[in-house]
Amino acid sequence: MSRPAVNSDTDFEVSKPLMGTAGWLDDRFGGARGVRTYLLRKVYPDHWSFLLGEIALYSFIILLLTGTFLSFFFVPSMTEVTYHGSYVKLDGIRMSEAYQSTLRISFDVRGGLLIRQIHHWAADLFVASLMVHMLRVFFTGAFRKPREVNWLIGITLFALALIEGLFGYSLPDDQLSGAGLRIFEGTLQGIPIVGTYLAYFLFGGPFPGHDIVPRMYIIHVLLIPGILLALIGAHIFIMFWQKHTQMPAKGNTERNVTGQPSYPYFVAKTSAWFIFIFGALALLSTFASINPVWLYGPYTPVAISSASQPDFYMGILEGALRIMPAWEWNFLGHTVTFSVLIPFALPLGIILGGAAFWPFFERWATGDKAYHHINDRPRNAPVRTGVGIGAVVFYGVLWIEGANDVVADKLQIPLYTVTWIARVAVIVAPIIAYFITKRVCLALQRKDRNELLHGYESGIIRQLPNGEFIEVHQPVNEERLAVLEAKKVTALLPGPGAEDDNGVPAPSARGMLGKARAVANRAFAEAIPVEADGHGNGHHGNGHAVTGEEHEAVGTPGSTALPPGERTEE
């Protein structure tokens, strides 16, 4: 792909009317320099995976737009009314005003159903794109110094999005979401000591009461979106300030950012991307029904249907509830119900807590305190990739278990068998996945090493004079070489119980924690070394020769990574 070479301010032209307006504003407020430097000239690396976060941003904007429209017509009230609207099948049925107004939006408000469906699809897309974006950041190590704070903000955004989604789809007060709310309330009650108080406080008394819909409404339309907006702002500002990470490629170093400037290239591209996402959501919402609440009927606590599933992002909690054996303690006149508590806290605790903890764990285990602006290829960080895939498998098992009745029905497996398989798989499968992934990563590293040392398999078969056939290997080109050479090997810290000549244990390997660290470090340091061999990659230490806590990850010589803000934009 030919990339327009835009290297100085003189190279790009801003249209006259825009210049005029900008000049008028600059005369009054100043700041043109900042706008020019930080907004218009910001360099955007050109890689498809950088579009994932934008999907999340744009679906959030679409959520704000469609949500505002819905709020014009939705009545957040649990007052009972008798329905006499245009959906005749529910004529004469008693229901809450919330449900009635949702029916009105769906059947009587012009464009209401389409907007409702876009809102719901956009919510699913928002959470899904957050997930994929986070996986991308995790697997490429883009969370590393100096970006840990933005990583934590991202995790907070994700957790808030889950609550926002749960409250959003519970607002219509239909049969399905009402059952979900009951589960939510029953789970809250299970929290020791404060559980009943929490549930009574949130619901304004016993379930369901008349307060929960208006309360969820204000949390859903004001409180959480406000926090989301602020955090998204911070997320993007920090990203601007620290500049993007970039993928290993020719010309990309720890001291520069390469890509296209914001104006006009990125602006054009991202605007099109927004419109494309909006269009895709509109098409999806036109042709694919989502949450047809009129089929579920209004909520009543005595009815339920089989195959009741929440939205996909709640599936992990649903699965965790279903997988649990009946564990409950009664002591000193109190009840602790682990069959509710563990599903409530553990799976998301492991996934989100683990994700939040990981950058600091990795830093501790590798002793790597350097700045990182060049992303890792997942294969070059086998432990991280293995743990990530393990987490994905853990999540996936619980997610599928959340629909165990559907799985049992469709695959003709007994229901309890499905649950038992999941009970075993949720523990065993992530461990297996970790080891398989790690081995695959190391195998790919070997392949890379072969390519680096012996060139790539050209597909040309040549017969030697003695009759032997060989395949001609050709040296890789510069672009490929840059990618292959981007591998960094984790420094080896003193081993578990390692002692120096005087029998004094190394400071970093002392005590329980030190031993754990040394063990973790050994796992991280396992890599396929590339020996110096005249291919110009002699700067690759093989890891075994280098020890010491303060050692920085091996990089290109003379190119210690710069702090954010000091990198040149190219």
Partner 1 sequence: MIIDADGHTQIPQEVFDNYLDKEFYRNRPRFVTFDDGRGFYLIEGRLITKPFGWGPGTPGSMITIVPDGYEDDPDALTKAAVILIKFRPGELHIPTRRQGSTLVGTMNWTVDNIVAYSKICTHVGCPVALYEQTTHHILCPCHQSTFEATTGATVIFGPAARPLPQLPLTVDSSGFLVSKSDFTEPVGPSFWERG
Task: List all residues 6 or more positions away from 530 whose beta carbon is below 8 Å from its beta carbon.
Answer: 449, 452, 453, 487, 537, 540, 542
Bridge partners for 463 per DSSP: 469
* Identity of the residue, 195 or 514, whose beta carbon is nearer to partner 1 in the bound complex: 195
- Is 405 an interacting residue with respect to partner 1 (CB under 8 A)? yes
Element (H, E) at 512: helix 511-525
Task: Mention every residue, 6+ apart, whose C-beta is less than 8 A from residue 190.
Answer: 337, 340, 341, 344
DSSP secondary structure of 400-416: HHTTHHHHHHHHT--HH
In whole angstroms, the minimum distance from the beta carbon of 347 to partner 1 comes to 14
Peptide bond into 292 cis (omega under 30): no
Cβ count near 222 (within 10 Å): 11
> Are the C-beta atoms of residues 203 and 195 closer than 8 Å to each other?
no
Task: Find the shortest distance in angstroms from Cβ 308 to partner 1.
Answer: 6
DSSP string computed for 422-453: HHHHHHHHHHHHHHHHHHHHHHHHHHHHHHHH
Residue 250 CA to residue 246 CA, distance in Å, equals 11
**Please, what is the minimum distance in Å from the beta carbon of residue 569 to partner 1?**
54
Q: At closest approach, how far in Å is the CB of 336 from partner 1?
A: 7
Among 75, 321, 441, 509, binds partner 1 (CB under 8 A): 321
Residues 6+ apart with CB under 8 A from 510: none
Q: What are phi and psi of 94, to 5 degrees?
A: -85, 140
Least distance (Å) between residue 429 CB and partner 1: 21
- Is the alpha carbon torsion for 443, 449, 452, 457 positive or negative? negative
Tell which positions 136-165 bind partner 1, by CB under 8 A: none
Nearer to partner 1, 307 or 512 (CB): 307
7 vs 300 by CB, closer to partner 1: 300
* Residue (185 or 448) nearer to partner 1, CB: 185
Query: Which residue in the set 253, 337, 445, 521 belongs to the binding site for partner 1 (CB under 8 A)?
Result: 337
Site for partner 1 in 60-99 (CB under 8 A): 80, 94
- Computed on alpha carbons and rounded to an integer, the radius of gyration of the chain in Å comes to 28
Is 170 a binding residue for partner 1 by CB under 8 A? The answer is no
Smallest gap, in angstroms, from Cβ of residue 21 to partner 1? 57
Q: What is the dihedral of CA 444, 447, 452, 458, to 10 degrees?
A: -130
Residue closer to partner 1 by CB (options 405, 569) is 405
CB of 397 to partner 1, least distance (A): 16
Point out which span in 194-202, 246-254, 369-377, 551-559 binds partner 1 (CB under 8 A): 194-202
Q: Which helix (H) or strand (E) holds 63?
A: helix 52-71
Q: Which is nearer to partner 1, 190 or 543 (CB)?
A: 190
What is the nearest approach in angstroms of partner 1 to the Cβ of residue 403?
11
How many chain residues touch partner 1 (CB under 8 A)? 52
Cβ-based nearer residue to partner 1, 342 or 506: 342
Q: Which of 112, 165, 190, 367 binds partner 1 (CB under 8 A)?
A: 190
Give the Å distances, CA to CA, from 558 to 484, 536, 554, 561, 562. Answer: 19, 15, 10, 9, 11
Question: How many Cα atoms within 13 Å fall on the side-chain side of residue 315?
Answer: 21
Contact residue for partner 1 among 1, 288, 307, 411 (CB under 8 A): 307
191 binds partner 1 (CB under 8 A): yes
Select 277 or 340, whichever has its Cβ closest to partner 1.
340
What gap in Å lies between CA 237 and CA 161, rounded to an integer? 20
Among residues 1, 88, 193, 411, which is the contact residue for partner 1, using CB under 8 A?
193
Stretch that binds partner 1, among 37-45, 317-325, 376-384, 532-540 (CB under 8 A): 317-325
* 464-476 burial code (b ≥16 CB/10 A, e <16): eeeeeeeeeeeeb
**Nearest approach, Cβ of 309 to partner 1 (angstroms)?**
10
Distance CA 139, CA 153 (A): 17
**CB nearer partner 1, residue 199 or residue 355:** 199
Which lies closer to partner 1 via its Cβ, residue 82 or residue 86? Answer: 82
Judged by CB under 8 A, the residue of 17, 92, 325, 557 near partner 1 is 325
Please report whether residue 302 would count as binding partner 1 according to CB under 8 A.
Answer: yes
Query: Is 326 among the residues that bind partner 1 (CB under 8 A)?
Result: yes
Which regions of 278-364 does DSSP assign to beta strands (E)?
Answer: 328-331, 334-337
The reply to whether 564 sits near partner 1 by the rule CB under 8 A is no
Choice between 176 and 554, CB closer to partner 1: 176
Residue whose C-alpha is closest to residue 202's, from 221, 224, 179, 186? 186
Of the ranges 9-17, 180-188, 451-459, 512-520, which one interacts with partner 1 (CB under 8 A)? 180-188
**Counting contacts by CB under 8 A, is residue 182 touching partner 1?**
yes
- x/- mask, partner 1, residues 197-236, rule CB under 8 A, reads ---------xxxx---------------------------
How many CA atoms, within 13 angstroms, populate the side-chain half-sphere of residue 163? 16
The binder of partner 1 chosen from 68, 79, 286, 335 (CB under 8 A): 335
- Positions in 339-378 near partner 1 (CB under 8 A): 339-340, 343
- Binding residues for partner 1, rule: CB under 8 A, are 80, 94, 179, 182-183, 185-187, 189-196, 206-209, 299-308, 318, 321-322, 324-328, 330, 333-337, 339-340, 343, 404-405, 415-416, 419
